[in-house]
Amino acid sequence: MRAHHALRPLHAEWTKLRTLPSTWWLLAALVALTLAVGAAAIAPVAADVCPGGTCDEDTVKLSLTGVWMGQAACLILGVLTMGAEYGTGTIRTTLAATPTRWRVLASKATVLALLTAAGGALAVLASILLADALLPDYAPALRPTLGSVLCLTLVALLGLALATMLRDTSGAITLGLGILYVVPLLVTLIPSPTWQHRLERWAPMPAALSIQSTRHLADLPIAPWPGLGVLAAYAAGLLLLAGVLFRTRDA
Amino acid sequence: MSDATIEVRGLRKRFGRTLAVDGLSFTVEPGTVTGFVGPNGAGKSTTLRALLGLDAPDEGQALIAGRPYHALRTPLLEVGALLDAAALHPARRGRDHLRWLAHSHGLPVRRVDDVLAQVGLESAARRRAGGYSLGMRQRLGIAAALLGDPPILLLDEPVNGLDPEGIQWIRRLLRRLAAEGRAILVSSHLMSELEDTADHLVVIGRGRLIADTSVSELLHAASGDRVRLRTEARTQAMELLAREGGRVAVTDRDTLIVTGLPASRVVELLTEARVPFAEVGAHRATLEEAYMELTRDKAEFTSATETADEVTR
Amino acid sequence: MTTSTNTEPETTPTPYRSHLHPTHAGFPRLLHAEWTKFRTVRAWLLVLVAAAVATVLITQLSASGSVTSGGPDAIHGPDGTTVTDSFRFTHRPLTGDGSVTARVTGLKTADDRSVEPWAKAGLIVKSSLRQGSSYAAVLATPGHGVRMQWNFTHDTAGSDSAVTTAPRWLRLTRTGDRLTGYESADGANWSKIEDVSLSGLPKTVQVGLVLATPGHQDVHRSFGGSSQSSGGGRATATYDHLTLRGTSTTTPWTSTDVGAPTPNAPAPHNARPDSTTTVTDGTYTLTGQGDIAPDQGGPDIVQMSFQGVFVGILFMIALGALFVTGEYKRGLIRTTFTATPARLKVLAAKTTVIGAVTFVAGLAAVAVGYTLAQSTLRGNGFGPPAFPDYPLLENPALRAVLGSAALLSLVAVLALAVGVVLRNSAGAIATVVMLVILPQILSFAFPLPAARWLLRVTPAAAFAVQQGVKKYDFTSHNCLPEGGCYPLSPGNGLTVLAAYTAAALLLAAWTVRRRDA
């Protein structure tokens, strides 16, 4: 009976997320975009760049390039999980039904994580299967595969945290896209080595995607697992902060 | 320029599988407040949106002063409209909302202050619209409709969210505006809201016209010559009144409803024939009852949920 | 019991007429209305200010972290362009008018690498042996046919005959300041390649055979950077039928290595092997390396002063999208279209207002950012002569500043147009970020040909407008996305973005007219 009681908000959040049409569109976009970009990335390699199967390219990493695009869908999904409630005022109904606020946030995070992990796994596995079919000497590995799925899940949680903190969909999405895309762009294009060095280690992206590397690991600015750890720390830290704000603020 | 009339002719509009408006025709004359009544989902808002050029009709015409809306050069000076009072940017001040509308027609800012005074919103005008109560939003929406001092007004559920005092205020306002010779169309899903306000009624259900009648005619028809009669001598009374041209229905062991004969004539006949009776009452309907009476005949109209079935067939 | 007091009006009342003068709802009034809408939402003004501040701040941070110790002294061509000018030269002075003719019989690699497509063997007239002095040359190449090139930044293609497969006759004629290049397959039938005028050419110039080959480049790319190693690339060319007509003071041909062959090569790995010239029975064999071309490899301090735009753009996207999706979200768009039924005019007014507002704010931000960043870079060692001054009001800085402001403005309008189509802020913002920013990130990860293609066909091409150093396509420079190199010229790059914006506006116009509001 008690277990049933504890699972009730989880069930409620699952129903809410499941019944938003945008959820399924975004999950479809996650799989389609990840696969499409992955295919575009490996197509030239498969065609001509490495004849005779002696590729210098990190083909595993290359085949998972689509995660760069797919993470936007995850971010938006995470933002809308909370942002949609603030946008429509449903949040008051939610909090009336489950007054313990941390339980609301934890339930949302759990449902979101499970859903994006499932969608992410589908997207990543599809990319790998495609690469396996197209590339001659393709050797998929567990770490990049698992890491990419975790990365997508963490990005969704990051979106949830940002939306809870800002209580505004557009603001959360803009900030989130800035973290996911603008920071990595600056990391590469910024002419200052000092800032490049700092950003490579302390910004969630592209540090997290070092998890996809299978070659020249010693040359990476940050090792694969610690890299993913940076993103995990951001997601967890912001979610915690969001939880504190969510508890103390008026709905 | 044609007269300040609103004219809907054979309007038909379909959204996907739902036929929202189905061959609707009516006219609103200057100097009257016309109530536009129907349950939620009857097609009222769709008709108003078609009149305002927001939805393109599939068939038929929705004309303002004889012209389609998009042909109006200065629409705010010809039609004032209140569609959705919540359609405000929450960060914009009430006064600024009216200012951009005024700018779009080159109206002086003085006019903004005039209408704010007219709706009694001067004190809140410099506050952000996000903090307005529903009643304040309605007043701001009405102010926006009045901005161009138009001869035609289209108001969608203007009474929504107003307190009793506000309802009285809007009734007086609408009567006064109509008395000035304006044509006013006020939609509502509650007939009682239009009591004391409307001169004329356009009743629709499932997108079709059910009645286009003046309020007095409707009330007269509804109250008509229904007489309730209580008598111990039921059979005797029924025979007598039927012979004299009345239609008699039995509702109770000792109660009859007589139609087709005025109460005075019923009393006269019963007295002459020495039929004992306990009570004769003339029945006077409220607008709400008149509406129920009107819609009872339309079997398909009793529930809005039936609409979907009907359409799929 | 309610007693209705309503009665039908007894007489038909006089229809009401508005007491206000009907003023024509002209376009300037619409602009005024949309501007009032924009100005009265404080959050939007704050976003605009935040965009400007972030642009300046990030630009400044990026510039303050960039330090150079100066590097070797750069060589500048006659028009001030930084150039590479080193080659094997077998020459004689020529005074006054004259002409030099020779047949290039072969050009091949002199080490274990394949011959570079941009290796050059041919004839040159150069004002002196000093690096960077003016010149004109007719050159046979293995991969790009016969070329006439002059003063480093000018190039005209001749026939596309490859010197590795067939010998080629070349001739260069001087008449006053005019130099004319010819080529021929047989030494009898000559065709003119180009006729150029080199102003200020001295009376006595150096004339002769030239051999140059750029170093071989290997690129290893991975996200977050790439390493390029260049080296080797020695070549050998053979010539015969060398004749010089005109007044020459010394009879024998002398040979010189103009400049150091590889000025930046670290010793000892790329130590310069000896260049040689041998003459046997009228056949001249030159071995050497180097290049005569604009130097495209150094830091571009103009481009380095616009890093903040990448952040500013994000705010502009949000602003452009919210300016219209906010109206759809709340149904305010119906009020707008009720006041102005001409929907295309509303779209035009919104576009004008958001375009102008973002252009002005963007212009102020990039101008201030550029000025501050330039002064910071000067303090960090990026000074003349290696890094000349680029004043704000002169090209290329002016073009980059105006272009960046236009870029910010076009992106905001693109977001507005996508917002009209999608009627949803989340979708509009994400779509535009993915169109403008994501292609660049993917270009770092994609193999080079795909990466360059991506930067040509997506709106990201517009960032080319920030490049201060002109990119020449007749050099062997590797245009790497992670090096901030965009394959299109500044103007064409911005045009790609403008085309996307125009297409999105057309789509928006079509949907806004067709759809019910």
Domain check: are C54 and C87 in the same one? no
Considering the domain architecture, whether residues C274 and C397 belong to the same structural domain is answered as: no
- If you write DSSP's letter for every residue of B113-149 in order, what string do you get? HHHHHHTT-TTTTTSBGGG--HHHHHHHHHHHHHTT-
Structure tokens at B231: 């008598």
Q: How confident is the model at residue C250 (pLDDT cuts 50, 70, 90)?
A: low
Candidates C19, C34, C328, C335: best to mutate against B (most CBs of B within 10 A) is: C335
The string of pLDDT tens digits covering residues B37-56 is 988 888 999 999 999 999 99
Q: C346-391, pLDDT tens digit by residue?
A: 999 999 999 999 999 999 999 999 999 999 988 888 877 777 788 8
Whether C264 shows a pLDDT value over 70: the answer reads no
At residue C226, the pLDDT reads 57
Non-local (6+) Cβ contacts of B298 within 8 A are B205, B210
Q: What percent of chain C has pLDDT over 90?
A: 47
Q: Which ranges of C65-133 would DSSP assign to H, the alpha helix?
A: none
Task: Examine the fold and report which residue of C294, C314, C329 is the final residue of a domain before the chain moves on.
Answer: C294
Contact C115/C107 with Cβ under 8 angstroms? yes
- Give per-residue pLDDT as tens, C113-134: 778 888 899 999 999 888 889 9
Note the pLDDT tens digit of each residue in B169-191.
Answer: 999 999 999 999 999 999 988 77
Residue C230 CA to chain centroid, in angstroms? 23
ipTM: 0.91
Q: Is the pLDDT of residue A228 over 90?
A: yes
- Indicate whether C166 belongs to any domain: yes
**C215 or C1: which leads in pLDDT:** C215
The dihedrals phi and psi of A235, each to the nearest 5 degrees, come to -60, -45
d(CA C409, CA C361): 9
Query: Which residue from C457, C495, C501 is spatially nearest to C354, judged by alpha carbons?
Result: C501
Domain stop point among C294, C317, C339 = C294
What is the spatial distance between Cα C394 and Cα C174, in angstroms, rounded to a whole number?
Answer: 35
Q: Does the pLDDT of residue C473 top 80, yes or no?
A: no
- Domain identity same for C51 and C142: no
Contact C264, C72 (CB under 8 A): yes
Neighbors of chain B with 3 or more C-beta pairs under 8 Å: C
pLDDT reported for residue A251: 67
Residues C134 and C281 in one domain: yes
Q: CA-to-CA distance for B267 and B280, rounded, in angstroms?
A: 7
pLDDT on residue C268 = 37
Per-residue pLDDT band at B307 (split at 50, 70, 90): very low
Chain C residues whose CB is inside 8 A of the A192 CB are 61-66
- What tokens were used for A20? 């938003």
Do A and B make contact, counting contact as 3+ CB pairs within 8 angstroms? no
Beta bridge partners of A73: none
Q: What is the pLDDT of residue A31?
A: 95
Q: C134 or C266, which is more confident? A: C134
CA distance C308 to A14: 41
Confidence band of C13 (pLDDT split at 50, 70, 90): low
Are residues C425 and C362 part of one domain? yes
Same domain, C55 and C141: no
Q: Which residue pairs from A25-28 have beta carbons closer than 8 angstroms and sit at least 24 positions apart in sequence?
A: A26/A73, A26/A74, A26/A76, A26/A77, A26/A80, A27/A73, A27/A77, A27/A115, A27/A119
C217/C265 Cα distance (integer angstroms): 12
Residue A41 forms contact with C (CB below 8 Å): yes
Q: Give chain B's mean pLDDT.
A: 85
| Surface of C (293-332) touching A: CB under 8 A | 299, 304, 307, 310-311, 313-315, 317-318, 321-322, 325, 329
**C-contacting residues of B 248-307, CB under 8 Å?**
284, 286-287
Whether residues C238 and C359 fall in one domain: no
Residues 6+ apart with CB under 8 A from A109: A157, A160, A239
pLDDT at C10: 46
Which one has a higher pLDDT value, B304 or A29? Answer: A29
**Section C18-29 average pLDDT:** 75
Helix (H), strand (E), coil (C) string for A204-248:
HHHHHHHHHCCCCHHHCCCCHHHHHHHHHHHHHHHHHHHHHHHHH
User: Residue B79: its chain C contacts at CB < 8 A?
Assistant: 338
Contacts of C322 in chain A (CB under 8 A): 170
* Chain C residues with CB-CB distance to B73 below 8 A: 22, 24-25
Q: Please tell me if residue A37 touches chain C, with a CB cutoff of 8 Å.
A: yes
Lookup result for tokens 């197209």: A134
Residue C265: pLDDT band by 50, 70, 90 thresholds? very low
Residue closest to B74 by CA, chosen among C34, C340, C335: C340
Up-side HSE of residue A45: CA atoms within 13 Å toward CB? 27
Q: Report the percentage of chain A scoring pLDDT > 90.
A: 49
pLDDT at position B296, please?
A: 66
pLDDT at C425: 92
Neighbours of A24 (CB within 10 A): 13
Picking from C277, C294, C311, the residue at the C-terminal end of a domain is: C294
CA distances from A59 to A132, A139, B6 (A): 10, 8, 69
Please tell me whether residues C350 and C394 are part of one structural domain: yes
Chain C residues lying within 8 Å of B32, measured CB to CB? 9
How many domains does chain C contain in total? 2
C81 and C60 share one domain: no
Does residue B266 carry a pLDDT above 80?
yes
C122 and C52 belong to one structural domain: no
Shortest Cα distance, chain C CAs vs residue B275, angstroms = 29
Q: C439 and C343 in one domain?
A: yes
| b/e map C325-341, b = 16+ CB within 10 Å | bbbbbbebbbbbbbbbb
Angle separating helix axes C397-422 and C490-514, nearest 10 degrees: 20
Residue recorded with tokens 């408006």: B21
| Whether residue C398 has pLDDT greater than 90 | yes
- The partner residue sitting opposite A37, judged by closest CB among C64, C225, C442, is C442
pLDDT per residue as tens digits for the range A158-173: 999 999 999 989 999 9
Any residues with CB less than 8 A from the CB of C167 and at least 6 apart, and which?
C103, C104, C105, C106
pTM assigned to the model: 0.85
CB distance C18–B78 less than 8 Å? yes
| Mean pLDDT score of chain C | 85
Q: Where does the pLDDT of residue C23 fall: very low under 50, low under 70, confident under 90, or very high at 90 and above?
A: low
Which DSSP string corresponds to C8-66?
--SSPPPPP--SS------HHHHHHHHHHHHHT-HHHHHHHHHHHHHHHHHHHHHHHT-
Query: What average pLDDT score do residues A185-200 get?
Result: 83
Q: Is residue C18 part of a domain?
A: no
DSSP SS3 for C103:
strand
Do C142 and C245 lie in one domain? The reply is yes
pLDDT digits (tens, 9 = 90+) for C40-85: 999 999 999 999 999 999 999 888 888 776 556 678 888 878 888 8
- Residue C218: domain span: 75-294
Question: Which one of C6, C13, C20 has the shortest CB-CB distance to B181?
Answer: C13
Q: Which candidate, C361, C271, C301, C320, places its Cα nearest to that of C51? A: C361
In a domain, C11, yes or no: no
User: Residue C9 domain-assigned?
Assistant: no
Grouping H, G, I as helix, E, B as strand and the rest as coil, residue A130 is helix
- Residues of B in Cβ contact (< 8 Å) with C340: 75, 104
> Which residues of C, range 449-488, sit inside 8 Å of B by Cβ?
none
Beta bridge partners of C181: C172, C194
- Assess A216–C contact: CB distance below 8 Å, yes or no: yes
How many CA atoms within 13 Å lie on the side-chain side of A238? 27
Beta pairing, strands B183-188 & B152-156: parallel
Classify residue A20 by burial, with Cβ atoms within 10 Å: 0-12, 13-18, 19+: middle
Q: Which residues contact A25 (CB under 8 A, 6 or more apart)?
A: none
The arithmetic mean of pLDDT across residues A95-121, rounded, is 90
Position C231 confidence tier, pLDDT thresholds 50, 70, 90: low
Mean pLDDT of the B298-302 span: 43
